[in-house]
Amino acid sequence: MDKVDAVVIGAGAVGLAIASEITGKNRDVFILERESATGQGASSRNSEVIHAGIYYATGTLKAKVCVEANPMIYKICAENKVPHKRLGKMIVGNGEDELKQLEGLMKQGKTNGVNDLELIDSDRIKSLEPRVKGDMAVLSPSTGIMDAHGLMDFYLRKARRHSGSDPLVLDTEVRGIKKSKDGYQIDTMSGREPFSIEARVVVNAAGLYCDKVAAMVGIDIDQAKYRLHWCKGDYYSLVGKPPATMLVYPPPLKDTLGLGIHTVPDLTGRLKFGPNAYYIDKLDYKVESPVEPFWSDVVTYLPSIRKEDLRPDMSGIRAKTQGPGEKARDFVIEHEEKRGYPGFIDLIGIESPGLTSSPAIAKMVSTKVNELLD
């Protein structure tokens, strides 16, 4: 059986970012991915927004890694020709209640370390985006968009350059993990052949299946509160010329499920709206939501949008650790030593802002991996 230093399970943005940091130093690292290409999970089914870190409770990992990663993403994109745009964003509100909510968000963002936020009035909104209607807005100049595949290609190129060989093993599904003398035996189905490998360190970055992978090693995922609740988000695209270029958001949903249906401009100039949020049991990417509630949310801030110009587009599925009606939970990034699994690192519930946060998450995980391997 092959023995390597580390195995990363999952070649989404997070797994690839981690692999790009832990390869090198003459290490053997494998990235095991069950699909036949990288980034087929949440990393290619999202809004591609470079978040600033406004919404997340201060002191959470979500806030910490997002605020740290925002300038890292811009730097990576600029230095490595990854398409991106610093479009800026407004979170638009109307009336007393929403003004209070926006003031709360300003405070939250500033305490998190997002230092460039401004509360702007309706005249300023009009001067920036004439078609947007709102009494006031939180303006976030450091929010932008990126090409998620471009970012993942960069991470993979970096991992390959550091490795000297190709660490990526596609079409290889991890099906079992056992503790071995010096680490873990990982049993996979690679194409149609069973294939096993031993690794001193295992990083579980399996996205929507990270709870299943944690259970494989022996972790009680209910006791650890790792069991995932899949939460789907549908998008509708707009036919015709986009009425706004910036990212425009309503105040976030009070049920903590999502950030509300917002404009999702892409790098080709198309505009989508989304994502909404509803829990599902079965993986299915078909857009199921009716257009009406989407449209009625959008017209609160962009009244010129006609319902007949919206078309079902794509969907993505969030890996949430909170179920329906539960409070928002933080990312879990845990070296499972205390549970009796030294060298096993779990990344659980890496929902939004996981794409933005990927370089900071990778830095954090690589520090632990270096400690374990050096």
Ligand X SMILES: Cc1cc2nc3c(=O)[nH]c(=O)nc-3n(C[C@H](O)[C@H](O)[C@H](O)COP(=O)(O)OP(=O)(O)OC[C@H]3O[C@@H](n4cnc5c(N)ncnc54)[C@H](O)[C@@H]3O)c2cc1C
**Binding region for ligand X (CB under 6 A):** 9-15, 32-35, 39-43, 45-49, 51, 173-174, 205-209, 213, 233, 275, 316-318, 350-356
Q: How far is the CB of 34 from ligand X (least distance, A)?
A: 4
Shortest separation between residue 28's beta carbon and ligand X, angstroms: 18
CA 35 to chain centre: 18
In terms of CB distance, is 124 or 160 closer to ligand X?
Answer: 160
136 versus 138: smaller Cβ distance to ligand X: 138
Task: Give me the amino acid identity at 130.
Answer: P
**Among residues 301 and 331, whose Cβ is nearest to ligand X?**
331
The values of phi and psi at residue 340, to 5°, are 95, 15
CA distances from 255 to 159, 185, 322, 323, 328 (A): 39, 41, 11, 11, 9
Report the C-alpha gap between 69 and 156 in whole angstroms: 18
Q: Which is nearer to ligand X, 136 or 368 (CB)?
A: 368
Task: Tell me how far, at minimum, the Cβ of 358 lies from ligand X, in Å.
Answer: 7
Closer residue to ligand X, CB minimum distance, 120 or 174: 174
Q: What share of the chain is helix, strand, coil (3-state, %, to 5)?
A: 30, 30, 40
CB of 128: closest distance to ligand X in angstroms?
21
CB of 209 to ligand X, least distance (A): 3
Tokens linked to 337: 């030593």
Place of tokens 């699994």: 341
DSSP state of 162: H
Closer CB to ligand X, 18 or 136, in the complex: 18
Cα four-point dihedral sign 48, 125, 70, 113: negative
CB-closest chain residue to ligand X: 354
- Report, in Å, the least distance between residue 99 CB and ligand X: 25
CB of 370 vs ligand X, minimal distance in Å? 21
Distance in angstroms (rounded) separating the CA atoms of residues 199 and 181: 10
Nearer to ligand X by Cβ, of 101 and 315: the residue is 315
Question: Shortest Cβ distance from residue 94 to ligand X (Å)?
Answer: 24
The DSSP secondary structure of 13-45, one letter per residue, reads HHHHHHHHHH--TT--EEEE-SSSSS--SGGGS
DSSP code per residue over 47-93: --EE--S-SSPTTSHHHHHHHHHHHHHHHHHHHTT--EE---EEEEE
Closer to ligand X by Cβ: residue 164 or 324: 324
Q: Which residues contact 125 (CB under 8 A, 6 or more apart)?
A: 90, 92, 132, 133, 134, 136, 137
